[in-house]
Each structure stands twice: as C-alpha cells, then as structure tokens.
Amino acid sequence: MKKLLLILTAIFAIEATIGTATISANTNGKAIRVFVTPDHQDWNYECGERPVFNVLVLKHHTPMQNVEISYIISEDKMPERKSGTLLLKEGYGKIKLGTMRDPGFLRCEVTVKDGDFTYSGYAAAGFEPQNIKPTVEMPEDFDLFWMNALRESAQIPLEPVLTLQPDQCTYHYNVYNVKFRNGAKDYFYGVMTVPTKPGKHPAVLQVPGANVRSYKIDKNLVDLKSVVTLIVGIHGIPIDMKGDVYDNLKYGALKDYNRINIQNRDKYYYKRVYIGCSRAVDVLASLDFVDASRIAVCGGSQGGALSFTTAYLNPKVKCLYAYYPALSDLTGYLHKRGGGWPNLFRRSSDDYLRNDNVMNTIKYYDVVNFARKIKVPAKVALGYNDRICCPTSMFSTYNSIPGEKSLLICNEIGHYTYAEMHHDRNKWLLERLK
C-alpha cells in the first residue's frame, strides 16, 4: 500500500509539473504514455549539478508493470552521449543524466516498446541558459551592408494594391488580399484585416514560418475589431492559389530555399525576404487607416527570426514578439553544440557549406546579430523540448538583446504553441500599441 501511494504521488507530481496540455501533446491519444521530467520544477540547473529525470510509463492511465525502457542522453541537437536500458517494476523510475560544465541543454529521450508499437517521451535540463553566449561573429560593416540594401530598395515604389474579399468580411472587419512591389519585377503578397470602425488603428505585421503554402487571416491574432493585421508570404507568389501549386514549388524550384545563393551575401535568398518584410511595415505605415506610430511585428520559427530582422531594418516597428526564433546562431554546430534551424552544418551532406563564402554570408543573416542591434521592446516565447529550433540557439539570440526584453518559457513544449501563449502575445502587443 505504501509503495502504491508513492507511485501515485509521483504521478501527481509529474502531471502537475508538465500540465495536462503536455499529456495531450505528447501522446496523441495513444494507449501508452511516457513522461520524462527533470527533478527541478523550472528544469534549470547550475553548471556542474547532476539532474535526475523522473520517468513514468502509463498504460490505460495505469502505471505499466515490469516495463523495460531504453534511454538516450545527449546535448542539444548533438550526438548521443550515453544510452542504456532500465526495468521499471511498477512503471516509475529515475535516470541520472550526468552534468554539463558549460551553459547549455542536456536531453533525455525514453522509448518503450509494446508489441509492434514504440512510444517515446523526452525532456531537457537547462544548465545556466541565461549564460549561453552566441558563436556567430558580428561583421564590422553589418550596419553599412543593410543600410545600402535599404537605400537600394527605397528606389522601388511600394505601389500597394488592396483587393477586397467580400466573402471573408465580417461586421467588425474587412479582409483584403494585398500585393506590393519588392523589386523591379518582384512582389510580396499577403492578406490584411481592417476594422470597419473609422479612424486610425494600430497595426500588427505577422511574418511567416518556413514553408511554401497559402495564407489566410489569423483569427487568433490580437483584436481584429480594433487592430489592422497583415500576414505576408515571402516567396513572391500569390497566397491564395488553388491545387497543388505550392507543393510543386516546395519540392521543385523552392526546395531548400534557405540555401539558395548562400555562397554570396548579396544574392542570398533571405536578402529579398528580409527587405520585403521591412517594406511590408512601410506599406502599413502608408495607409490612411493605420497609425504609423503604433506598428508591431510578430511570428514563430522562421517568423520569429523575421520579427527580429524587421524590427532592426525598419524603425517604424515599435515592438516585436517572437515564438521560438529560427536562424539563430547558425554556426553553433561548428563549435560542437546545437545551432539554429535550418541546421546548415549538422549533416555530413552539408559539408559543401563549410567554406569562407558561406561563413561570410551567414554573419549578415544570423538572427543573433539582428538581436544585438534592436532598440525596441522584445518578448520571446520558447520551450526546452523544441527539436526544430533548439533552445541553445534561441537563448543565444535572447541573451544578445541589449535593451528591454522578457521571456516566456513553457518548458515542456516542442515546436508548437499553447492557446495561453497566443493570449500572452496578444495581451503583450496590445499593451504596447495603446
């Protein structure tokens, strides 16, 4: 009886720590649940400390008896450091991870086999993440490079075209497809909501995560009744095409677009992207129903990265909110630690990128260097279990912000968001756009 009480106490402690949302996110309705949780409530440790990970395996909501687990311990996005197996007689056990001498993250992944199925759970312990320093270098002419790019771009008129979409309009806001010039023969496309209430309104630019796809309005973005919103795509193609055109581009001409012309800093794919997002702010500021003194930018993943670049490039941006920013500290892998998406130097197939031309290009596009330069309030939301944009890379960016900043950590999340995070974003943005 005493042992059963101990197990139930462990279950309640772990579920209290990770929250019900984690259960849903990690299990996807599967019969077996694998929970992995560090023994510090905030998942943080001092360098040299030795975390203990609690492991709980439930089958049909009941601790699984005599279950063998396999575990792998590794530093963030790096090769396996240690592995092993452990028999959990009553579904609950502990794994000692070892430690880290330098700031970073140590991850424990646990798998369980049951019949023909394999189940897994994982978590990461953070070792002084507030002290993680970036590896990417800042070029001396960083400001000059982007100032010249902006000056060249300014020669191209915006010529925005707003096309009403009557079938999407509501009593509170109208919806428009938007098109504006980003070059001599290059356009950006997006979708905008405009409050029906007359007057000048604050505006939020939402910049996109990675992929090639269509775009629709985001009804979870701030208060559409009182704020103008603009969501843009970055690839110079309309955002509402039908059929399989996006997949054809995704696996064809735009495959691995994040590597296109990476050998040349002046022709790298993201140059027109960064400039185009800045011009989207100019479009908003030019509209007679937008208060140009109240414009914010937000986005997640690639969009988190573009939030930083846009805030640096365009002084009209008043604040930024970034979910799990990508393109952060890309050179981390060259220093034997995790780097940011798109993980340019992680695979041996990317060895062709390890040359001086690429190294030079990256310095001008790594989000860390934009974070070092921004002068507006910034908020970053991230999770320790993100294996797309690893937390080591994201803290490299966050720790580089010199001015007003704040951090929302949902330790257990991966590369996704909770509804509560959307609420936090909207509340934070609206407070600064008053």
Q: Classify strands 317-323 and 378-382 as parallel, antiparallel or unpaired.
A: parallel
Q: Which whole number is the average pLDDT over 418-424?
A: 94
Judge whether 301 counts as a catalytic residue.
yes
Locate the domains of the chain by residue range: 2-129, 142-432
Count other Cβ atoms within 10 Å, centred on residue 251. 11
Per the CB < 8 A criterion, the answer to whether 129 and 337 are in contact is no
Q: Residue 243: its pLDDT value, please? A: 84
Q: Which whole number is the average pLDDT over 177-187?
A: 95
pLDDT beyond 80 at 25? no
274: Cα within 13 Å, side-chain hemisphere: 26
Rg (CA), the chain: 23
Pick the CATH number of 142-432 from 3.40.50.1370, 2.60.120.10, 3.30.300.30, 3.40.50.1820: 3.40.50.1820
Please return the burial class of 110, using the count of CB atoms within 10 Å of its CB with bins 0-12, 13-18 and 19+. Answer: buried
Per the CB < 8 A criterion, the answer to whether 390 and 383 are in contact is no
pLDDT beyond 60 at 187? yes
Show the tokens assigned to 94. Answer: 């502990």
Residue of 364, 389, 398 lying closest to 136 (CA atoms): 364
Angle at 328 between CA 248 and CA 77, to 5 degrees: 85
Write down the CATH number for the domain with range 2-129: 2.60.40.1930
- Kindly state the DSSP code that residue 262 receives in the 8-state scheme: T
The residue annotated as part of the active site, out of 386, 393, 396, 400, is 386
List strand residue ranges (DSSP E) for 250-315, in order: 290-300
Per the CB < 8 A criterion, the answer to whether 45 and 72 are in contact is no
Judge whether 102 counts as a catalytic residue.
no
pLDDT beyond 50 at 179? yes
Q: How far apart are CA 329 and CA 280, in angstroms?
A: 26
- 3-state SS class at 332: helix
Listed in sequence order, the residues at least 6 apart from 392 whose beta carbon sits closer than 8 Å to its beta carbon are 76, 77, 104, 105, 129, 132, 329, 332, 337, 338, 339
Tens digits of residue pLDDT in 192-237: 999 999 999 999 999 999 999 999 999 999 999 999 999 999 999 9
The residue annotated as part of the active site, out of 301, 307, 328, 396, is 301
Per the CB < 8 A criterion, the answer to whether 26 and 3 are in contact is no
Tens digits of residue pLDDT in 108-166: 999 999 999 999 999 999 999 999 999 999 999 999 999 999 999 999 999 999 999 99
Judge whether 143 counts as a catalytic residue.
no
- The values of phi and psi at residue 68, to 5°, are -95, 130
Show the tokens assigned to 192. Answer: 């905008």
Angle at 232 between CA 229 and CA 238, to 5 degrees: 125
Angle at 85 between CA 90 and CA 1, to 5 degrees: 10
Tens digits of residue pLDDT in 338-379: 999 999 999 888 889 999 999 999 999 999 999 999 999 999
Q: Residue 97: its pLDDT value, please? A: 83
pLDDT beyond 60 at 12? no
